[in-house]
Chain A
Amino acid sequence: MSNYKIEDIFRISSTRSNALRVCNKKGGKHLSEIVVGDNTGSIYFLRPNRKNNTIELTCSRNISQPVGTIQSYNRDAIYISTGSYIEEYNHKGKKVLSFDTNIIDNIQAICVCDELIIAATQYIVSYYNHNIEKEQYISNDVMKFVTFGNLSDTEKIYTFVACQDKSIKILLKSTLIYEIEINSIPNVLCLSTRNIGQLFYGTTKGEIVSLKYENNDIKENWRITENDTLDSIVSMNYYYHAKLDLELIVIGFESGFVRLYHIDDGLPKLILSEYLQESITNVAFAFIKPELKLPQIIASTFSGRIVLIWRNQEIVDINSSQFYIAMEGIDNTKENGSDFEDNNNDANEENTDKIIESRILNQQKLNNIVKAKTEKLKKYNSEVNFNDLKKQYNILINDINTLQKKVDNEKEKLNSILPQSLHLDDQFDLFHIKQRFELDSSEKCYALIIDTDIPIQSIFFKCNFPIVIKKENHSDIIDNDEIGSLKINISSNEREKYSYSGTYICPPNSLKARLQIYPIEGKYGTINIYVVPNTTPPTYQLTSVIVKPLSLHERVRENEIGNINDFTNRFPIKGDLSLSEIQKFISNCFPQVPEKIHEDSSEYVYYFKSIVIDSGVCCKYRVGEIEFSSNNITSLSVIYEILSKKTLSLNKSFETFSLEMDDKLVKPLLLQLYNGLENAINIIEQHDLLIPVLNELSLQENGNISFFDADLLNIMDNHKEIEDNYENMKDIQIKRFIEGITSLYVVQKKCHGISNPSTLNKLIELLEEFKSFNGTKIDWNQLWPFFE
């Protein structure tokens, strides 16, 4: 195990992002103070106690509403938003000022600078001067993260926005200065204090990217993409030590990882990775331990743990002008004087030698110190009597046991009172749930993550449309977590048509459940989730997630769709439709679309791309008019079905409302589905039949398999990959392709006016035969005639 230290310093109720702020006083020697707010509306002011090396609570305030965001500039100007209010506190927790912004939405970011107050919600950035609203910027998509800072013009405050439509925007007041399009959804932004204009962003896919804005142009410096299995990034913090020229950046991941990077020569290097088993909500640098010169990491989790993480570190003065600083993973020799740096620029070989020499020297020095310290520790350890420790441990265990009994008794007592009194006024206060349901385009599924602040006992699911739920399994990240057991019942009967239910029993003390949900395109509905935690009294909460009809599409930009001209299947609608109605309808059909729309320009366009096959949907609309176009007639037909159902219930009529199919596009689509199915069946066959035989053969030949066919060798090489894909192929992909082919068939016939094609059963039979894996090769010549 790595030799970094981790310590729980405080515990509050469940927290959310941006609700923790560290106030560092000017001047290095002072310790930081922490302000943190939770979902029950309590704000805690914490400060380290130098005497006994702990964190103490200065005071706490209750504002009865969940804390939105906290911003602080120095220890006496702490701004806290709750709902539409901004309140100012001093470091002792005294309320100085309260200000109502009159925005309907919750504030997610604030900035206060002299008379200017900026408040940002999901769609609006609002600027106030002397408490009077001056300007507003309205975004046409959800703003995931907003932060404020300086650019080239240090006098002005710029607003940096991470937007759901895969872009980062830089605003000055309400005018858009610059917009950069990136290739995944940004979730967090963080500004460098070393180089003005340098910024970092973290995406929902776990990428960390550094950008540099200069002269109206943005350049990418570096990017870290290896964290794609760690889930979305939820929090980032930047630290720069000017004297040491030390740049650190800490990243908090949704999955519970905290990673610290050191930016060395402009490139990041991972120096610490810690797994906290719960969703991280905030990470920050702080100075809590008086004996440490470099900052420590503070992380807060959803359940309300506040954790301090640090590594062993040393600062050694070698002589008056040179000193050595080291944290495990980083080593830096820095000069106090400036003469050395000048030489550096010349890249003088002699000097580099000298540097290396001095580095080695310093390393030795450090090693000696570390050695001496460990020796000391060892000596101390040997002095401590082993039996004493054992005794102490046993006493503790006894204490715990008696306490556990007491707690159990108290629980029992509480339970015996509660059924009579039904005193359950605020059951939602008993525990908090955070759920995340997001498209994972690489796994071709949705990730469902449920976080609670009280250990989950079990989770029950039910829905009445076909999906597949699986336990999440990252193949290469080992989190040493125990896993719960998942049991799925699928039943279909005539009354209910289809019912899918699952039970997930969580391992003890888990605050988090992660599952993968594989939908099938065109099958949609609500999944009801009953979460049962270990509360007293026992209770549960019902939450739900919505699987949208075209759930396997992701939103893209125009240039990401190559064959836009091929979208000749059309579905135009004209009629009495308002913009918000259309927007709502589209957001009900596709994922990653905002529910509301603010701007009022003449025409809007959305592009969507399927994550299973190479097809897409383009959707253009203006008031009273929508036009969907696609190369996949099935997708359009799904929209058609839903819209006709909807209009029926709303009693609306349209001037045009018809599906126009381009017959030319059926064959390429079918070919794609066919190839997908063939590929999936191949993988299953290779896994089930070929690989065991090949393995045996290779064994008999003592591993000498060079006589194999190139194809076979290829299969042997890809063995691991096939193994990884096997489960998914067998359970899900085949189902998706077969469903795709049958619905394509039905739609094609429908467009030609045949509503109940007689050969449908034959087609299903044929496909079933392909699926049975009894060696029947899937045959294009058998399949195609159905569509001719």
Chain B
Amino acid sequence: MLSKVFTEDFEIKIKKNLCCVGKFDGVNLSIVFVSLGGKIYKYSPYLRGSEDEFIELIDMEQEVTSIACNQLDPDINKDLLIIGTKNKLLLYDVENNSDLFYQEISDEITAVSSGYVSNSETPYILVGENCLVQGFDYHGDEVYWITTGDVVSNIVIEKNKKEPILYVSSEDSYIRCFKNDQMICEIPEQGLITHLCSLHHNTIGYSLENGEIGVYSNFKKIWSVRTKYTINSLIYPKKIANGLCIGYNNGLIEIRDIEDGKLLYSNTGITNTTTSHNPIAGFVYGDFSNNGEYSLIELSMDGKVTIYKKTINYDYNTDYQNKIYECTKRKQDLLLEYKTLKERSLTISSNAFVLSKDMILDSFATIEIIQEFVDNKNLIGQIVLLITPKENAIIEVVNVTSDVLFEDNTFTIFPKVTKMTPPYRIPLNFVHEIGGEILIRLLCQIQTKETNTNRVFLKKQIIPEFIMFKAVKNLEKEGKSNLKFTVNSKMTDIVWWIKTYFLIKDNDDLMESFNSIRGNFIYLLDGSEMSINAILTDNSNISITIFTENLEIAGRCFQHLISVLEPSDISVVLRNFPSEKQKLIEILSNIEEYNVNRMKLTSEIASLSDQLVKFFILAEDSKEINDIQNLRKGYHAINNLNSDIFLEYSKRTSNHEQLVNSLKEVNKIIHKAANLRFGKEKSTIIAEAREAIKNNTILTLTGLLFD
């Protein structure tokens, strides 16, 4: 599918994932990549042979964390380069060698991307930071601002101009999908997401730190495979192959079918070894020769640039023929399987009556999920899987698997080894607090009169979204903080929602009457209390009150309820969270303090360095005139000053750290508070809150978030 055209060796170390391709002169494609240490280079294949073919553009003198390029200014028909370092964002005109704007970012920039968002006229520059994504236009004005759950690791925007979807992955292993500035979907994953790659509309490829590659289409996973090797790069070379191109750390290149993940190409030779062992730094793809012939360019970490072209003989026809051939084979296999299964079930059902009778078993064991308190005082608890085997069954192995709920997907218990006695209590530790399904697999030995048989017993168990909430009869006191809102929905729907998404074992746990329902819960992770109260009001709306001190829980319940019931009319009556409000005020005043401290510390360091220069001159002058005593004095002072500066500096860093943490807290609170809204209101509140922070008006901010 791919054939190598030529390889160029630049003998520099190329940094992983830091490469992009653009028409910096408006006509021809050039590749830009970054070497370790922050030097940025440009390679232009169209200038082959000339001096400018390979040039160093700029030296950022600090680690570059990400680069991107796009045609940002509608008046100039060429691509501009966006460079993100630890705390700087730079827009750079490659052709004119000039900086267009320069923005200091207080947080670390972790990802940079560019594209059309929210029907804008020009593409935005999107910068991923700690818990937020900021958008700028080409003047450097902030035009976009959304919050996410953790440090952003990847940003990908769909290429189309109309309602593109923005995908943001963050270090809490979630992929969040935004349309305009509204989040439309949250996809949990089982590990750190290392790469994202937009495929078609609504389709995205991803890779994880543990070697998993997969594709989501319409927010549903369509396939995933796990490979042995570390993935360094993902690209979709549309005009070359209808597949996801994957570059590995061991030099392996694979192309996998977007629809089923089947391997279409790999660069292994006759002996099934890779042709090169150079780790792949990244791919770029485009029409470099300007004649409609697209090529894929591989950059390896040790500085080799290899150009691949689509193999001439390769065409989709043969591809389809192969597919058809394989499908026919698969069909035959299935037919055979069907036949044997049918035969089996026939022979068994004819014998079943004769054989069974005293051997009838409904099941070998009962499986239950229970919530129990570990710490009765603080009301902290856990979820426990309770397995009770029947007399004639010995459970050898218990294995529980789930797609997303557990770390590493699975865990196994050998009841015999751990000398457990039935009933077996197996604590379940979920990594994500979301609804899902777990598959319990019991390896049992069934003892009958004649023989012992080995059986595997499978059970699927639904884990409701709010499993960590244990229903209790009554709570000690009603919390002060609450969220009150009305929806036009049926009472039965509300009851159904509670019964489905909370683990309700006993109907007595809920207080139900013909026009109201009340559920009291204890959040098992921190022992806090939460209750949901729904009452039918006069104008046939339902008024719901969520009592909880925890802003996040209130937001979660609210968002989940409206997403499930989809009521046409929602109005929030009251958002009363005095403690959170107080917390926010405290944090904001802290931030102010940190800012003041920062100024003070900076000036102190400046004055110290002034003194340093003074003493240095003194010392050097004394050296000239052979005044050893003053020389000593001078350097002694310098030594002292030096350690002072060190001290000041460490103060400054800790201050800065606290500042960053506080900012993160504020972002989180805004994120949570926004969850108490819905639809348009939700995105406006974020924008307004951002404005308030900019203007440093604490009162407006707190007033905005909590009324």
Contact = CB atoms under 8 A, between A and B. Distances in A.
Interface in A638-678: none
A536 B341 contact: yes
A1 B265 contact: yes
Nearest to B316: A386
B228 A421 contact: no
B342 A410 contact: yes
B443 A414 contact: no
Interface size class of B (residues with CB under 8 A): 35 or more
Specify which of B12, B250, B272, B419 lies most central, judged by the most chain A CB atoms within 10 Å of its CB: B272
A397 B351 contact: no
Given A273-B272, A411-B341, A422 B418 contact: no
A307 to B, nearest CB: 12
B352 interface: yes
A538 B412 contact: no
B656 to A, nearest CB: 24
A480 interface: yes
Given A421-B359, A422-B359, A540-B443, A270 B271 contact: yes
Contacts of B356: 420-423
Contacts of A502: 412
Nearest to A486: B408
Contacts of A392: 324
A505 B409 contact: yes
Interface in A446-466: 458, 460, 462, 464
A417 B36 contact: no
Chain B interface main SS type:
mixed
Contacts of B401: 505
Interface string A496-507: 100101110101
Interface in B219-241: 225-228
A316 B362 CA distance: 71
A625 to B, nearest CB: 41
B443 A427 contact: no
B361 A419 contact: yes
B352 A537 contact: no
Contacts of B396: 530, 542
Chain A interface main SS type:
mixed
Interface residues of A, number: 81
A164 B441 CA distance: 41
Interface string B328-370: 1111001111100110110011011001100111111000000
B666 interface: no
Contacts of B570: none
Interface string B299-340: 000000000000001011110110110011111001111100
B331 A499 contact: no
Interface in A349-407: 374, 381-382, 384, 386, 389-390, 392-393, 396-397, 399-400, 403-404, 406-407
A417 to B, nearest CB: 6
B411 A460 contact: no
A532 B363 contact: no
Contacts of A419: 361-364
A576 interface: no
B456 interface: yes
B455 interface: yes
A482 B363 CA distance: 35
B211 interface: yes
A1 B268 CA distance: 8
Specify which of A393, A536, A540 lies most central, judged by the most chain B CB atoms within 10 Å of its CB: A540
B325 to A, nearest CB: 10
Contact of A396 (B272, B331, B446): B331
Contacts of A8: 329
A422 B335 contact: no
A477 B272 contact: yes
B454 A541 contact: yes
Contact of A400 (B210, B211, B327, B345): B327
A197 interface: no
B361 A485 contact: no
A257 B453 CA distance: 36
A423 B351 contact: yes
Contact of A404 (B317, B334, B456, B458): B334
A202 B271 CA distance: 18
B338 A407 contact: yes
Contacts of A485: 210, 226, 408-410
A426 B35 CA distance: 64
Contact of A421 (B225, B331, B352): B352
B456 A532 contact: yes
A390 B352 CA distance: 46
A396 to B, nearest CB: 4
A482 B330 contact: no
B457 A489 contact: no
Interface in A473-492: 473, 475-485, 487, 489, 491
A496 B418 CA distance: 7
Interface string B259-289: 0000101101011111001000000000000
A489 B397 CA distance: 14
B412 A407 contact: no
A404 B341 CA distance: 12
Contacts of A495: 419
A642 B355 CA distance: 48
A410 B362 CA distance: 20
Given A400-B327, A479-B272, A699-B13, A389 B321 contact: yes
A539 interface: yes
Contact of A542 (B12, B317, B453, B454): B454
Contact of B268 (A386, A414, A420, A480): A480
Nearest to A384: B317
Contacts of A476: 273-274, 277
Contacts of A484: 226
Nearest to B453: A424
Nearest to B416: A462
Interface in A247-277: 257, 270, 272-273, 275
B273 A478 contact: yes
A217 B179 CA distance: 81
A406 B252 CA distance: 39
Nearest to A402: B334
Given A532-B441, A541-B454, A403 B331 contact: yes
Interface string B374-415: 000000000000000000000011010100000011111010
B320 A390 contact: yes
B355 A496 contact: no
Contact of B412 (A273, A424, A489): A489
A458 B399 contact: yes
Given A403-B335, A421-B352, A540 B456 contact: yes
Contact of A2 (B228, B270, B411): B270
A458 B456 CA distance: 12
A489 to B, nearest CB: 7
A63 B508 CA distance: 65
B341 A407 contact: yes
Contacts of B582: none
B455 A396 contact: no
A473 B254 CA distance: 18
Given A396-B324, A503-B412, 9 more contacts: A257-B272, A381-B318, A400-B331, A419-B361, A460-B399, A539-B455, A699-B13, A699-B37, A700-B37
28 contacts: A11-B336, A273-B272, A381-B318, A389-B320, A400-B331, A403-B338, A414-B348, A417-B345, A420-B361, A421-B356, A422-B356, A423-B355, A423-B356, A476-B274, A478-B252, A478-B272, A480-B268, A483-B211, A483-B227, A485-B409, A489-B411, A499-B417, A503-B412, A505-B401, A542-B396, A699-B36, A703-B12, A703-B13
The 3 closest A-B pairs by CB, nearest first: A538-B456, A503-B412, A396-B327
Interface of B: 11-13, 36-37, 210-211, 225-228, 250, 252, 254, 263, 265-266, 268, 270-274, 277, 313, 315-318, 320-321, 323-324, 327-331, 334-338, 341-342, 344-345, 348-349, 351-352, 355-356, 359-364, 396-397, 399, 401, 408-412, 414, 417-419, 441, 443, 446, 448, 453-458
